[in-house]
Structure 1
């Protein structure tokens, strides 16, 4: 049985609203949750994505997904900010389906919200990528790293 999820889905950039219906976003995030969650997913444009990445990570570019995790237990509480322009560009450049790329990034961000990390430790990166593959396969998506 999947954990309970309270989801807020916001579209500051509405360009992909049609490919991100609430029930799909809910399913993808819930599949990656290991505990109950309170998650906000905000789809933003490049300006907001750049400002958040610069202000919170010191990186002067818009990135695909930012995870702001607040609590991990007993309830996972986090904001996932996804930049629509970056996701669209990455999907096109890699020849990936846009929906599959969004699903991957939502799973990726949800895992970050639970403490998974890939930036500082190769072993932890392998654990996180394996979990992403497992969750996405369970959702019917191909390996995002293949």
Structure 2
């Protein structure tokens, strides 16, 4: 272990701490590790999650919330190490984010239409039930 890795390991979180902080399961963390989305430091049989792991996990969870696939997230995260002051990563993330935002807005419009239609249908059914209940009472 290099000196930098040793220093990072001392400040690192355990798997339990990561799970508690981010609301994920150990299985989720191990899955992300298997996909090489995060790379905890190994000390004997223990995984120690560095600040970089925590940052990457935060970005992974945000990306998932926005509807990105894990593969899309992995590709964007891997652009960090290109050595261009993250210009490529930021640019591609912005472009992907704008595309996703457009798709989400379109979905919201479709959902708004479906909600309005369902509300109208339920109002019709309520009206029919009210009339039939009134007819039976007579």
The answer to which structure has the higher helix fraction is 2
Higher relative contact order (CA 8 A, sep 6+): 1
The answer to which structure has the higher strand fraction is 1
User: Which protein has the larger Cα radius of gyration, Structure 1 or Structure 2?
Assistant: 2
Q: Same fold (TM over 0.5)?
A: no
